[in-house]
Chains A and B, each alone.
Chain A
Amino acid sequence: QVQLQESGPGLVKPSQTLSLTCTVSGGSIRSGGHYWSWIRQHPGKGLEWIGHIYYSGSTYYNPSLKSRVTISVDTSKNQFSLKLSSVTAADTAVYYCARAGLIVVVPAAIWFDPWGQGTLVTVSS
């Protein structure tokens, strides 16, 4: 079964770029039919969709983060990555990667399964 694992620095300085990688095992990113997503959760708060990517490189981003977010995919390593620039303390959160089912034609649908275990990223000097 497909498993996902986030990796990257747990501490990032303000104004710098947060970089995380999600490694997919038990299945191929190139298998198609799914998107590969990033979701975050501020401490004690709800879930926030950041964006996702198809293996071909097609991306969707949260409009509220779009100017600072880049999601990329490396099919040779079965990985996808998140970069969030110009971070502030408000970007401190647990970051999850997840596989997404997506239908964009109405009635549209999106669901996330499975999820990685999540990684806490703290923005602080």
Chain B
Amino acid sequence: QSVLTQPPSVSAAPGQKVTISCSGSSSNIGNNYVSWYQQFPGTAPKLLIYENNKRPSGIPDRFSGSKSGASATLGITGLRTGDEAAYYCGTWDSSLSAGVFGGGTKLTVL
């Protein structure tokens, strides 16, 4: 069981917007920053968002992050078939003194 909770799957049509949720508790998301990763099958995860809403260089502004209370959200606009991947949230858990991840969400672009 993952410390952070994500929906197993989401889907949306090309060109549309999708959001992926990540819920935790006060010991992790509630008081700490969240990061998001994209992973295609057979490849390593790639950082999309760090510190809740910052994008590393090279990540398009179609990807955005937000946080409210003990939940975080990844938003993807202008969906493309190339966005089909698994998406993971992560953060630091201050009670565990450990990095923690969500179970991942598979995005299907219909």
Residues of A within 8 A of B (CB): 37, 39, 45-49, 52, 60-63, 96, 100-104, 106-118
Contacts and interface: CB of A to CB of B under 8 A. Distances in A.
Nearest to B32: A108
A46 B47 contact: no
Nearest to B31: A106
A104 B91 CA distance: 11
B70 interface: no
B56 interface: yes
Interface size bracket, B side? 20 to 34
B45 A47 contact: yes
Contact of B90 (A47, A60, A103, A117): A47
A9 to B, nearest CB: 20
Interface of B: 2, 31-33, 35, 37, 43-47, 50-51, 56, 88, 90-92, 94, 96-104
Q: Which of A46, A62, A113 has the most CB of B within 10 A?
A: A46
B92 A110 contact: yes
A60 B98 CA distance: 7
Given A47-B90, A96-B44, A102-B92, A112 B35 contact: yes
Nearest to A105: B94
Contacts of B51: 109, 111
Scoring A49, A110, A111 by chain B CB atoms within 10 A of each residue's CB, the highest score goes to A111
